[in-house]
Structure 1
Amino acid sequence: MTVGIRPYESGDWGDIARIHDAARIDELRGAGLLEAFLTLADTYENEGLFDDQVWVAEYEGRVAGFIAGRVGAEGGEITWIYVDPALYRRGIGRALVEHFLARAGGPVELEVLDGNAARDFYESLGFVRTATTTGKLAGNETFAATGHTLVWTPAQP
């Protein structure tokens, strides 16, 4: 099956909220922070989901994931990426990241929680850990978390 990527439309809200909420539980469980869970509806405004560009992935005729962030000629930052847990390991996350990287004219940064299995996935795409920090958990600042900054740098011609 082919994964299609397109810009977010307001009618996608229910799908991305469902996907975020299910996948965020996996993300937080891996980091030992399950009690910090908040829904997308509770966090999207404070975390600026729609401050930058948002794309959705479609797979088998339905929304299967989404990615958001700042991207431009100088590079960018992936601020959100979630895939429906029922559709893990079908190339959806890879298609989303590759779509984003193809639009970046320079390095792309993202942060991943310590213990999140997605770190191996990002590293398989060429992202390299450049820093590890501990601070307030984005989206639920009452919790402390450790995160890794990963950076992808385009190949030089």
Structure 2
Amino acid sequence: MERRMPPEVTVRPYRPEDWDAIARIHDSARLDELRGSVGVEAFLTLVETYEEEGLFDGGLWVAEADDGTGAGPRVAGFAAFADAELTWLYVDPARYRQGIGRILLRHVLTADASARIECTVLAGNDSARALYESEGFRVVETKTGKLAGNERFAATGHVMEWRRP
């Protein structure tokens, strides 16, 4: 059995020319996130939600990795962090299970000096929850309310917390 090696990944601050890539990544990965939780009927694009959800309120980083096409590194995911909260973390579905989400998460955990960091994972998004738990997050609360970004829909989310050792 051939073992696929993870790509070399670089995390850097967001640049305006990354917009099209992160919008494409968000829109395709958000559908996967909703498919396992609230339902795809709740989908709204990044263009429709980024301002209200505060995408640019804190730090915003992108992960670049070579996709094997010879075109060089391309944006493969992004993460945003504000006020001790990981607010966004999305990876291109074509790049799932290559360690890119973990690299972005670890970047956030080391880039901020907060003693406590939290995030919210939709109930049913088991792969995201497993990633966070594998990096030391634990569920501290589960609550049901309006879906962030599309308040016409109800959602259940697990508030997860990470504490600096």
Same fold per TM (> 0.5)?
yes
Q: Which has the greater radius of gyration?
A: 2
Equivalent residue number for residue 119 of structure 1 = 129
> Shift in Å at residue 16 of structure 1?
0.1
Equivalent residue number for residue 62 of structure 1 = 74
Matched, 1:99 2:107: yes
Q: Which amino acid aligns with 2:130?
A: D
* Alignment map for 1:74-89 (pairs within 5 Å): 76-89=84-97
Matched, 1:146 2:156: yes
**Distance (whole Å) between structure 2 residues aligned to residue 49 and residue 32 of structure 1:** 21
Aligned length: 151
Q: Which amino acid aligns with 1:127?
A: F
Q: How high is the sequence identity, in percent, across the aligned residues?
A: 58
Q: Which amino acid aligns with 1:6?
A: R
Q: Which amino acid aligns with 1:107?
A: R
> Shift in Å at residue 32 of structure 1?
3.6
**Distance (whole Å) between structure 1 residues aligned to residue 38 and residue 47 of structure 2:** 22
Superposed CA deviations along residues 45-91 of structure 1, whole A, max 9, x for unmatched, are 111111111000001010000000116xxxx1100010000000111
Say if 2:31 and 2:40, in contact at 8 Å, map to a contact too: yes
**Distance (whole Å) between structure 1 residues aligned to residue 134 and residue 36 of structure 2:** 19
Q: Which runs of 5+ in 2 are unaligned?
A: 1-6, 67-72
Q: Which runs of 5+ in 1 are unaligned?
A: none
Superposed CA deviations along residues 91-114 of structure 1, whole A, max 9, x for unmatched, are 100100000000222111000000
**Distance (whole Å) between structure 1 residues aligned to residue 112 and residue 140 of structure 2:** 19
**2:98 maps to which of 77, 90, 93:** 90
